[in-house]
Chain A
Amino acid sequence: MSSVVLPASPSESRPGRFGAYGGRYVPETLMAALLELEHEYELAKADAAFQAELADLLKDFAGRPTPLYFAKRLTYELGGAKIYLKREDLLHTGAHKINNALGQGLLARRMGKKRIIAETGAGQHGVATATVCALLGMECVVYMGDVDMERQELNVLRMRLLGAEVRGVSSGSKTLKDAISEAMRDWVTNVRTTHYLLGSALGAHPYPTMVRDFHRCISIEMKQQILEREGRLPTAVIACVGGGSNAIGAFYEFIPDRQVRLIGVEAGGRGTELGEHAARFRGGVPGVLQGTFSYVLQDENGQIANTHSVSAGLDYASIGPEHAALHDSGRAEYVSQDDAATLDALVKLARTEGILPALESAHAVAECLRMAPTLSPRDILVVNLSGRGDKDMGIIARELKLGEPNAT
């Protein structure tokens, strides 16, 4: 694609680059806030008291470290690689999202901001943000597409119970992309008093770096736990990728370990046409959406495409810029699993291990089910089980017709 000329040459004057990707593409109004955030984040990183408070909350409030669980029955049934599950689903609020919400919440308090805004797709980031705002005594507004509010009603109710205001977004595709745009509009308007607690490793610098750092604990623990259990590194780490926050958290510590395959699983949706899926590396080209340069699903005129996935959390037209760099360098592999395979995987995990994964995480499980039988018992697969599926029961019940006798 010769037309991508602008962000192609990273340089010192352009912070927040992952290869050619990342950067800052925002209205000037937000620049002062982004620079303040970058500065405060650097100070907080170096501040032992900040790090100690975050570590305490991650341990006692969120429930870290999460277990690395050997899925014995699943391994036996598939007859190939040994399968481990990193149980981020056991965290408080039900997903990895709490790691980042706690980190940014403490940072916002440190910056003296009393109002927090966030966007959410599946609702897990919204719930995590509402939870942290309740914990820290801050005002919380969460933007959510109308379509997502309908399919994730339980999480809408949880956010309201926690004291957050949930604002429906009726523009565009009424999903995550539009919720992010609306949150950015709010931020542009209220930038002096408000922190935007962005929920994935996306957006303008410093967000992709900062959000990744707050999720690094996943791979730090994972590496230590697998070495304790098996005495060696896994064959592959598998994680679902919407914006890519759980995946970058699960991959990061393994990036230097070239023998460990890093596999991101995108939403294959219900077809291969533009608008039928959210597989950015299969159907997207590099472009700029919502502040960052990365792969974007778009038409030939540069208009952002609509997406589809059974899981609201993966239903996004772009992907975190660090994943774009990992993709281009070949260090990580990106595949997709469609809605049907995902639902099959969800049922399989529920019935063999008694674990109900989030629909997002079930994409990673589906890839694990495909890979494991092709590998030997000496191989080890670690699946990052990013969240639990309670929030998805309405969709799962509808898709699997659980209300009818003899369903599935």
Chain B
Amino acid sequence: MALAFNHKPGLVVYLTAGDPSVEATLAIALEAIDAGADVIELGVPFSDPLADGPVIQRASERAVARGTRMRDVLKIASEIRKARPNAGLVIFTYLNPILRYGCTRFVDDAKAGGADGVLIIDMIVEEADEYLAEMDRAGLAPIFLAAPTSPDERLKNIAAHARGFIYAISRVGITGKQQSMTSDAAALATRVRRWSELPVAVGFGISSAEHVAQVAEFADAAVIGSAIVELIERSTPEAAPGAVARFIKGLRLPQAALAR
């Protein structure tokens, strides 16, 4: 059930569903796919996103304030799937909104809506038995985080339960842009590969073509989150899809351009 990355390097684009609106998120997602995003990571807005930095926290607050619900997020997912059958589609969320919606119902609805996988950011493999059983039943890929602080025996366990791809966190810390990649990311990707054949996507802090080019040297894909969410925050709803598309196109610059 590995997700396919059709480009090299692959790009996973995170969007907070409902920011600035349900309609705009759909429009941005479609433009992002057309501009070269391999996977859309659709974020369920949550009131208390403790692993996220201020940019995604603000986006979550705006989306929650607009009344964005789980079923709106799943509706966006199914519209994306209908319009772009070949794109990868992952639901990104904290656990509590799933518990409230109902785990079985969530898994069924996510599958029916065309999602390929689910990433619950505050779910570790040791707590995930029932969730994994539900995901397996529905044929959805559970995606897990691997952190630079995860020792090898944890990485082995994570690799044994993950499907789709492994999300390697580039550094200890919360989401948000940073100036340069740390050596943590390459070391982690190398360690993950010892235990898993799945594609490795590197995220947290990636915001430029230079970062993406660096990631391409040791991983299969880069995850872009805060940089895009911030661009959406700065744009009008009408201008956001175009701005995001231009930004994504610029993320895969030819090597010659990077060298300049």
Q: Which residues on A are within 8 Å of B, measured CB to CB?
A: 2-9, 11, 13-14, 23-33, 171-172, 177-178, 181, 184-185, 188-192, 285-291, 296, 298, 300-304
A62 to chain B, nearest CB (A): 31
A301 to chain B, nearest CB (A): 5
Kindly list chain A residues whose C-beta atoms are within 8 Å of the C-beta of B23.
none
Among A13, A27, A32, which residue has the most Cβ atoms of chain B within 10 A?
A27
Q: Would you call B147 and A31 a contact (CB within 8 A)?
A: yes
Given A13-B126, A188-B51, A191-B149, the answer on whether A5 and B104 have CB atoms closer than 8 Å is yes
Q: Which residues on B are within 8 Å of A, measured CB to CB?
A: 46-51, 53-54, 57, 61, 64, 69-70, 94-105, 121-124, 126-127, 129-131, 134, 144-151, 154, 158, 169, 172-174
21 contacts between A and B (CB under 8 A): A4-B99, A5-B99, A6-B127, A11-B129, A23-B127, A24-B126, A26-B124, A27-B50, A27-B121, A27-B122, A28-B144, A28-B146, A29-B51, A31-B150, A172-B47, A181-B50, A286-B99, A289-B96, A302-B70, A303-B46, A303-B47
Partner of B154, one of A25, A31, A171, A288: A31
Total A-B residue pairs with C-beta atoms closer than 8 Å? Answer: 145
Query: Which residue of A is nearest B104, CB measured?
Result: A5
- Bound-state CA distance A390–B88 (Å) is 58
Query: Which residue of B is nearest A301, CB measured?
Result: B69
Partner of B97, one of A26, A32, A286, A302: A302
Partner of B100, one of A188, A189, A300: A300
Given A5-B102, A188-B174, the answer on whether A287 and B96 have CB atoms closer than 8 Å is yes
Kindly list chain B residues whose C-beta atoms are within 8 Å of the C-beta of A192.
149, 172
Besides A5-B134, A6-B99, A28-B150, 9 more A-B contacts (Cβ < 8 Å) are A27-B50, A27-B145, A28-B145, A31-B147, A171-B54, A185-B51, A188-B172, A188-B174, A304-B48
Q: Would you call A28 and B124 a contact (CB within 8 A)?
A: yes
A35 to chain B, nearest CB (A): 8
- Bound-state CA distance A344–B102 (Å) is 43
Kindly list chain B residues whose C-beta atoms are within 8 Å of the C-beta of A291.
122
Given A177-B48, A185-B50, the answer on whether A24 and B127 have CB atoms closer than 8 Å is yes
Partner of A29, one of B64, B96, B169: B169
Among B51, B97, B131, which residue has the most Cβ atoms of chain A within 10 A?
B51
Kindly list chain B residues whose C-beta atoms are within 8 Å of the C-beta of A184.
50
Kindly list chain B residues whose C-beta atoms are within 8 Å of the C-beta of A287.
96, 99-100
Q: Would you call A290 and B100 a contact (CB within 8 A)?
A: no
Kindly list chain A residues whose C-beta atoms are within 8 Å of the C-beta of B64.
303
Partner of A3, one of B51, B100, B122, B151: B100
B236 to chain A, nearest CB (A): 25
Q: Would you call A289 and B48 a contact (CB within 8 A)?
A: yes
- Bound-state CA distance A198–B146 (Å) is 25
Query: Which residue of A is nearest B72, CB measured?
Result: A301
- Bound-state CA distance A184–B121 (Å) is 14
B260 to chain A, nearest CB (A): 33
Q: Would you call B96 and A296 a contact (CB within 8 A)?
A: yes
Given A189-B173, A288-B122, the answer on whether A28 and B158 have CB atoms closer than 8 Å is yes
Query: Which residue of B is nearest A189, CB measured?
Result: B173
A9 to chain B, nearest CB (A): 7
Kindly list chain B residues whose C-beta atoms are within 8 Å of the C-beta of A298.
96, 100
Q: Would you call B96 and A288 a contact (CB within 8 A)?
A: yes
Partner of B122, one of A26, A32, A302: A26
Which A-B residue pairs are the 6 nearest by beta carbons? A302-B100, A3-B102, A302-B97, A28-B145, A29-B147, A189-B173
- Bound-state CA distance A51–B105 (Å) is 49
- Bound-state CA distance A119–B207 (Å) is 31
Partner of B48, one of A24, A32, A172: A172
Query: Which residue of A is nearest B125, CB measured?
Result: A28
Kindly list chain B residues whose C-beta atoms are within 8 Å of the C-beta of A26.
122, 124
A23 to chain B, nearest CB (A): 6
Q: Would you call B122 and A29 a contact (CB within 8 A)?
A: no
Query: Which residue of A is nearest B45, CB measured?
Result: A303
